[in-house]
Amino acid sequence: MFISNWVSRPLVELGIWATKLGRGEWEETKHQDSLISEVESLSSSLQFMADNIKHNTINLENEVTKRTQELQQLNSKLEKLSNTDGLTAIANRRFFDEIIIQEVSRAKRKKVPLGLIIMDIDYFKKYNDLYGHQAGDNCLIVFANTIKENLKRKSDFIARYGGEEFAIVWGDVSLKESLKIAQHLMQNISNLKIPNHLSPIGPYLTVSMDLSIITPTKNSNEEI
């Protein structure tokens, strides 16, 4: 019985230890050495295997974390690209359609006015025909940047609505303030003095603006 107990006890302890290692309890160590060389050899081999598994598991977890972060960053970039106009680097029509729904909803909840400007560059086709499409693209970039520079609040939103059309949305602004913003924007665009000699209304590019101010109600429609 003494010999049986002397042989079996370290094996039982070894089995319990192996079970804990299998559950990922890496910090668990074998409590005592065995005087039986075969058991001690098995114990050392098990410890070596456990250390390797622990090392590989930690490396794998770190790699998964790293890849997950990279994937999240990539998805964020892809989402941003899908919402951004490739030429002017402002929001595209798709993103505008999402934002206008959110802004109408917010204005309903807070019972505040919502402002919208639709801006169209006059006789832009004639400009492209005379100066070329590259000049037209440059012109759209300049217009987009000019609009951005004149929108001061973080909540103000600008998007390329169509080919030469831009949309501007802002909330909680009165009609008087909105008219002031529109006039200031119109003046800054006029100051650009971009030539358009085919325009029937003057030697420079001009824009037409439609300004609307509404306080949405529960029956208001988000569609533009």
Q: 164 an active-site residue?
A: yes
- Burial (CB count <10 Å: 0-12, 13-18, 19+), residue 29: exposed
Tokens linked to 143? 């217009």
- In angstroms, rounded to a whole number, what is the distance separating the alpha carbons of residues 194 and 165? 17
- In angstroms, rounded to a whole number, what is the distance separating the alpha carbons of residues 17 and 21? 6
- Burial (CB count <10 Å: 0-12, 13-18, 19+), residue 18: middle
Q: List the one residue out of 184, 180, 189, 154 whose CA is nearest residue 169.
A: 154
Residue showing tokens 């994937």: 71
Query: At 219, which amino acid appears?
Result: N
The active-site residue, picked from 164, 165, 177, 223, is 164
Secondary structure of residue 216 in the 3-state scheme: coil
Known catalytic residues are 164
